[in-house]
Amino acid sequence: MFLGAAIISHFTNDELITKKGPVFQTAIIAGIQGVKKTSELIPMCHPLLINGVDIDIKIIDSEHIEVLCEVTIEGKTGVEMEALTGANIACLTIYDMCKSISQEMVIKEVKLLEKTGGKSDIKNV
């Protein structure tokens, strides 16, 4: 995600506190909620018993961050839609919390990196 130097320059110790609160911490919570609500947001996705969600957000250079969402389940189905939803909701939350600093942010290159389970395994790393 492109945040731009104007926003990243406000970060201290890999976190930015805005009037709405800590940006990355809030985005992680929102991403987890997004994972859990995927079946309510995307037609034909069925509710799943999620075993784990790990959302990692890090600054990768002076203008960009990376948001990774990993979802685990014990069942035979894949959870790629849940992971993609979680990552997108985390990015949208970051956008919402930082828009008072700059509205030049761009959410881009949302993609599935790896999937196991379901009908096929995928590795796009």
Give CA 102 to chain center in angstroms.
20
Dihedral sign of CA atoms 104, 33, 47, 117 in order: positive
- With a CB cutoff of 8 Å and minimum separation 6, the contacts of 55 are 27, 28, 31, 32, 67, 68, 69, 70, 86, 87, 90
- Is residue 56 part of the annotated active site? The answer reads no
Residue among 54, 56, 61, 96 flagged as catalytic: 96
Whether the CB-CB separation of 70 and 50 falls below 8 Å is answered with: no
Catalytic residue numbers read 96
